[in-house]
Amino acid sequence: MDVSGTVLPVTAKQVAYAQKLALRNQVILPWDAQQDRQSLSRWIETQAAVRPAERFNHPSSKQVAFAERLARIKRKTVPNACFRDREMMSRWLDSNR
């Protein structure tokens, strides 16, 4: 709401950023959050504070690169499950150094 108490519509820039955050965090952008500028702003603040590493337990890009390099050197393959779980990747790296 602005000073006069009217509800302000969302901006195209807000919607674009909200969609980007929804994609990054793998969440659905709720319809009710898109109804006014203030609601969307609150949703954006919440989603911007979520770090992808906290939300998902995927290995880091450095872990993946190191694992692939080790696998080439040792002529092994990295198990597919390791690419979905940070802890499994860490254990695979520790056991193959």
pLDDT for 41:
94
Q: Considering Cα of 46, then 52, then 53, then 55, what sign does the dihedral take?
A: positive
Instruction: Check pLDDT > 60 for residue 86.
Output: yes
Helices then strands (H, E): number in the chain?
Answer: 5, 0
Please state the domain extents for the chain.
Answer: 12-55, 61-95
Which of 4, 24, 8 lies closest to 16, judged by CA?
Answer: 24
Please tell me the distance from the alpha carbon of residue 88 to that of residue 84, in angstroms, as a whole number.
8
pTM value?
0.52
Instruction: Check pLDDT > 80 for residue 53.
Output: no
pLDDT over 90 percentage in the chain: 52
